[in-house]
Amino acid sequence: NLARSTVVLEQYPWQWMFPGAVLVLTVLAINFIGDGLRDAFDPRSDLN
């Protein structure tokens, strides 16, 4: 229920901070891997 959600957010922050941080790191890792793959395999890249 909504009252319990507020209590969890305020009094037990580790229950949402760690999953949130893992989610952010996962998205950033996938983004960097995608950028690296694009740079490696894009034939029209300006890198010489």
pTM for the predicted model, two decimal places: 0.72
CB–CB of 39/45 below 8 Å?
A: yes
Question: Could you tell me how many residues make up the chain?
Answer: 48
Enumerate residues 6+ apart whose C-beta is below 8 A from 15.
Answer: 8
Q: For the packed helices 14-41 and 2-11, what is the interaxial angle rounded to 10 degrees?
A: 80
Average pLDDT along the chain: 90
pLDDT tens digits, 16-35: 999 999 999 999 999 999 99
pLDDT number for residue 29: 99
For the chain, the structural domain boundaries read 2-41
- pLDDT at position 31 is 99
